[in-house]
Structure 1
Amino acid sequence: MPDNDPNIDGVVQLDGRPVRVLTLGRFVALGFFLTCGGPFGLEEAVGAGGVFYCLLGLVLLPFVWAIPQSLMTAELSTMMPDNGGSFLWVWRALGETAGVVNAYMTLASSFLDICLYPNLIASYLPGHLGQFPRWALKISILGVMSLCNAMGLDLVGEVSIALLVASMSVFAVEIPYAITSFETGPWSKLPLKPDWALFSSILLWSNTGWDALGSIAGEVADPPTTYPLGIALALVASTCAFVGPVAISYSLLPDPALWTADAFYEAAKQASPWLAIWVRAACVCGSVGQLNAGMASTSRRIWAMASDTSEEQGVFIRTMPLFLSYLSPKHGTPVKAIVAQLVVTSAIVVLDFSQLVQFEMILQCFNLLLEFAAFIVLKYTEPMTPRPYVVPFGLTGAWAITVVKTIVVLFTIGSIGTRTPFLLFAAIAVNLTTALLFMALRALGALGPPRRAPFVPESRQMFDDDQHPLL
């Protein structure tokens, strides 16, 4: 059988695109790690704002953030079922300049997000490492995950399933110990010096990633079915994986002052030494799963930025060297994009967790505002473009979820900007510099003609096959 047979998992099809290898189970596991990965990383949110507000936020955020974001992702990903995600959405809706700013802002945010997980993994390992050995360990982790990604998204999906089970099962075993230790008093206790900027950054960061599912749309099997159902299952799993472990572990360690980066380990140690060892392993597995999924999503963003295939989605958006769009004939993976990702993240992984998460979150907030605008604009400019999945209640539903998400984003920007204005100004400067540089190059003719292709959908129907309105 020839290597380019589209029935072989993980190879490249005749049109140069990867095969759709992500079945529902693989998609749910990958989605879980893109959007959650377990409670690891939430420890400092409890320390910054107290367990009551942390749990309240984790319960409410799915309704005001995760569900609206996942609904938007399901609609846009089935409307444009190709790798690239928000990169495609913003460019097609808002044009070239906004598309370029969004593309590089998203990429920078994704690189910072990837670098969070080697930091977490290193903090979970026993013993103290010097600065250079710690940096070498982080790069080694990035290298191993890059190799896994280079071997195919089907392997990434299978590994994600195994890591999901390995990382979450320990908390089920802790439940009897937590019940016997439960006390009502400490649950309303606040830290002596609450840090609401860090608190809100971590909570929102822990609920982001839903739009990243759009970056792998070109490798999802049966997108109209897999996206809505898979996102719903991943959302339920993510909420349970946040609330349950935090509540269980706080019962064992009921003091926000003790909730630092290794709080889940310290809580398990109150129950049993062997449980503490298991939690260490689970923390590593959860962070490895998030890193693995994040690298898969980001490498495909790089591929989309270097590829010409996005012209079929209404835009010609190559903003990176063409060689980065190379796909392995054997595995169907963007291997050169994966190598480029490894080089960049190895340079910035030296930064610590709190620096990374706040700057990553503020970049992500600006990116999200562009996504929201693109979602609404496409409702008006392309009302008859086929959408296999549509956000319920038409334009009213679309505006409702967008307004709610915008309020959350503006609150996060305000809280970070108030506490650390340098990060806010740095993010604004990055965006303005990118936009001005691009417009200057365009005005000088250095970029050739504007790369905005007219999109004319084959079908101008206003109803689907079951006569449901597309809006």
Structure 2
Amino acid sequence: MRFSRLATDEEHAARGAAARVSALNGAPDGATPPRSAATTAAAAVAAAAAAALPPAAGACACAARAPTAATRVERRTSGEDASETVRSEPPRKLNMLQLVMITFFSVSGGPFGLESIVGTAGPRVSLIGLLVVPWVWALPQALMTAELATAIPEMGGYVVWVHRAFGEALGFQVGVWKAVESLLDLALYPVLLVSYAEAFLHVQMDALTRWTVSAGIIATVCVLNVLGAEMVGDYATVFGVVVLLPFAILVLLGAPSISASALLADPPAPPPGEEAEPIEWGVFFAILLWNTSGFDSAGTCAAEVAEPARSYLPAMVVTLALTLGMYLLPVAVGVSVTAAADGGFGAWRTGHFVEVGRLVGGPWLGGWIAAAGAVSAFALLTSLLCTSSRALAALAELGMAPAALGRLHPTYGTPHVAVLANGALTSCLVLLDFEVIAEMAMCLYCLAMSVELLALVRLRAAEPLLARPYRIPVSDTLGIRLFVAPPVALCLALVANSGPVPAALGVGVVGATGVVHACWSRRCGLASAGSSLRRWRDRGAYVAVQLAGAVGARAAELDAEAESLVASGGREDAAAR
């Protein structure tokens, strides 16, 4: 079995730095002697470090490509054998609006499913949670994605980040955790969509009919994804209008009804003669975190974004603002209208916004919100299949999954095999219990997110000279650690409070992933220690060349200043004479 690996950014950046050092000396790459001792030393270090790297493997992976770029050079090694093959790569066509809508439907898709926190904890606690939690949970995810996706704009996102920070073993683990979590997540939305259809049509489907309808929905979504991320972005934009518009109307019509006393109300009172039940904080935070998760999924499409350096930060900020607005305003209107209508919040359960719409605007608005819920479920399924399939393809490109999963469609440039594999596996899970799926998916998501945040810290330390078009404005030492501490703590707390069934299944997935990685590594002839040494050798050479380039540039500036001083001094002597 042959192990494939894409040429790393360090290799190309090192050779580029060596070329820049030579250019400072007024010569082609390493050809003529430099002008000073400093630039001579810099060129020598650059040449030595570049020589320590493996043979060139092609153009820099993170360099800007034209939208129609169609090739990528991949190095394949098997023992001492080496060869280079040219592969197609996806065109960069996604604009910022499309990226915003794909991210929005990977994170939120609207306030559907958020109603339970009001029924559990009451309006006051719910609104405080919606105001506070996103800033310590969603914001770090969004800014992490903006920094890493612009620094490493490759297909696969978090798979590539963790692989680059911690190596193949942990990269494989996180890739599989996220793949399983995505499959579980994907299985939720056909179930939701069928449930909306049953409620709308007033029918009750048997298990076989539900599975058949779900499989048809999944097949439709697979076709859209094979046609390209641009197609997914276009449909997500249309779906976004359909979902956002009824809630905008709800807020406009219901704003005069907003009441401070309703917003500050306590949890629902128990029936007479019964004791008040304590707030189920585990359920409360699980729902709240679940509805503000998924920003890292946007990083998997970085290879298909037209201008990642300029698009990602605005897209993450707009998505976060849109998500918070879609949560806070409808909840504020909803609790005020509900308080005026029946004085309680015990009826706030999943789907209650349909009743809120009916109270505010009549049956037409309630029906529109119900239809928007179905559209949102379809859009969530479409966007998540898009992002998760690219992570699966990245595992294949890094040699950690069957190579077929990394194949790109010859016409559309999409990882069509990964898309179809994801769709087929999802169709096998749609009949599982909804709550178990959701809890297990969140457990795996939190484990993977913890490692992704630690990868952000690790890359700041391991690759300080990596070009970062956007850099989170904190220091590389204490600042970045404090930045990731709150979301990591929330992740670990949620995993620790998982139910016994999701926890057992999560442990099983983690253990099985380790066994699979060991078997796959042995089959592919990988030597972890050797791979680690090669990785550190390459990074050391990369840092050395970058330092040499900086020294060479400064030396050239000093040479130019010296020549300028000599020339100006000569002119002054001539004028005096």
TM-score bracket relative to the smaller structure: 0.7 to 0.9
| 2:509 corresponds to 1:430 | yes
1:460 aligned residue (537, 546, 549) = 546
Cα root mean square deviation, aligned: 2.5
TM-score after normalising by structure 2: 0.72
Instruction: State how far apart, in whole Å, the 1-side matches of 2:135 and 2:466 are.
Output: 28
- Tell me by how many angstroms 1:135 deviates: 2.4
- Tell me by how many angstroms 1:172 deviates: 2.1
1:41 aligned residue (101, 113, 124) = 113
The answer for the alignment partner of 2:83 in structure 1 is none
- Tell me by how many angstroms 1:25 deviates: 1.4
Seen in structure 2, the aligned counterparts of structure 1 residues 256 and 9 have a Cα distance that, compared at 3 Å, is farther
Instruction: State how far apart, in whole Å, the 2-side matches of 1:332 and 1:251 are.
Output: 49
| 2:416 corresponds to 1:335 | yes
Number of positions where the alignment pairs a residue of Structure 1 with one of Structure 2: 445
Seen in structure 2, the aligned counterparts of structure 1 residues 53 and 134 have a Cα distance that, compared at 3 Å, is farther
The answer for the alignment partner of 1:117 in structure 2 is 189
The answer for the alignment partner of 1:264 in structure 2 is 353
The answer for the alignment partner of 1:312 in structure 2 is none
1:299 aligned residue (373, 378, 389) = 389
| 2:429 corresponds to 1:348 | yes
Which structure 2 segments of 5+ residues have no match? 1-64, 73-85, 271-276, 555-577
| 2:372 corresponds to 1:282 | yes
The answer for the alignment partner of 2:438 in structure 1 is 357
The answer for the alignment partner of 2:490 in structure 1 is 408
Deviations 1:191-243 (A, max 9, x none): 55543322211211111111111111111111111111211111111111121
1:216 aligned residue (301, 323, 328) = 301
- Tell me by how many angstroms 1:448 deviates: 0.6
Deviates most, 166-175 or 180-189 = 180-189
Q: Is the 8 A contact 2:186 2:384 kept in 1?
A: yes
Amino acid at match of 1:296: C
Deviations 1:296-355 (A, max 9, x none): 001111111122xxxxxxxxx222221122211221111111111111000111124322
- Tell me by how many angstroms 1:426 deviates: 2.3
Instruction: State how far apart, in whole Å, the 2-side matches of 1:239 and 1:176 are.
Output: 17
Seen in structure 2, the aligned counterparts of structure 1 residues 369 and 44 have a Cα distance that, compared at 3 Å, is same
Amino acid at match of 2:415: P
Amino acid at match of 1:227: Y
Deviations 1:401-421 (A, max 9, x none): 1111112212222332xxx12
Amino acid at match of 1:447: C
The answer for the alignment partner of 1:66 in structure 2 is 138
Secondary structure, counterpart of 1:51 in structure 2: helix
1:273 aligned residue (360, 363, 367) = 363
Q: Aligned ranges for residues 70-469 of structure 1 at < 5 Å?
A: 70-125=142-197, 126=200, 127-130=202-205, 131-175=207-251, 177-179=253-255, 181-187=257-263, 188-191=265-268, 193=277, 194-254=279-339, 255-271=344-360, 272-307=362-397, 317-395=398-476, 396-416=478-498, 420-439=499-518, 442=521, 445-450=522-527, 452=531, 454=535, 455-456=538-539, 457=542, 460=546
Instruction: State how far apart, in whole Å, the 1-side matches of 2:179 and 2:516 are.
Output: 17
Instruction: State how far apart, in whole Å, the 2-side matches of 1:440 and 1:323 are.
Output: 18
Amino acid at match of 2:94: L
Seen in structure 2, the aligned counterparts of structure 1 residues 385 and 258 have a Cα distance that, compared at 3 Å, is same
Amino acid at match of 1:76: L
Amino acid at match of 2:496: G
The answer for the alignment partner of 1:310 in structure 2 is none
Instruction: State how far apart, in whole Å, the 2-side matches of 1:9 and 1:119 are.
Output: 38
Q: Is the 8 A contact 1:10 1:154 kept in 2?
A: no
Deviations 1:255-288 (A, max 9, x none): 4321222211122222301111111111122222
The answer for the alignment partner of 1:3 in structure 2 is none
Q: Is the 8 A contact 2:67 2:93 kept in 1?
A: no
- Tell me by how many angstroms 1:22 deviates: 0.9
Deviates most, 146-155 or 179-188 = 179-188
Instruction: State how far apart, in whole Å, the 1-side matches of 2:481 and 2:363 are.
Output: 51
Deviates most, 82-91 or 348-357 = 348-357
Amino acid at match of 1:438: H
Q: Is the 8 A contact 1:12 1:19 kept in 2?
A: no
Secondary structure, counterpart of 1:20 in structure 2: coil
Deviations 1:157-179 (A, max 9, x none): 11111111110111222235534
Which structure has the larger Rg over C-alpha atoms? Answer: 2
Instruction: State how far apart, in whole Å, the 2-side matches of 1:10 and 1:265 are.
Output: 46
Q: Is the 8 A contact 1:41 1:120 kept in 2?
A: no
Instruction: State how far apart, in whole Å, the 1-side matches of 2:470 and 2:251 are.
Output: 39
Instruction: State how far apart, in whole Å, the 2-side matches of 1:262 and 1:342 are.
Output: 27
- Tell me by how many angstroms 1:47 deviates: 2.7
Deviations 1:342-374 (A, max 9, x none): 110001111243222211101111111111221
Identity of aligned residues (%): 29
Amino acid at match of 1:460: Q
Q: Aligned ranges for residues 1-40 of structure 1 at < 5 Å?
A: 15-40=87-112
Q: Is the 8 A contact 2:172 2:395 kept in 1?
A: no
- Tell me by how many angstroms 1:181 deviates: 4.7
Deviates most, 284-293 or 18-27 = 284-293
Secondary structure, counterpart of 1:412 in structure 2: helix
Deviates most, 121-130 or 203-212 = 121-130
Instruction: State how far apart, in whole Å, the 2-side matches of 1:450 and 1:10 are.
Output: 34
Seen in structure 2, the aligned counterparts of structure 1 residues 120 and 52 have a Cα distance that, compared at 3 Å, is farther
Seen in structure 2, the aligned counterparts of structure 1 residues 180 and 428 have a Cα distance that, compared at 3 Å, is same
Amino acid at match of 1:295: L
Amino acid at match of 1:262: G
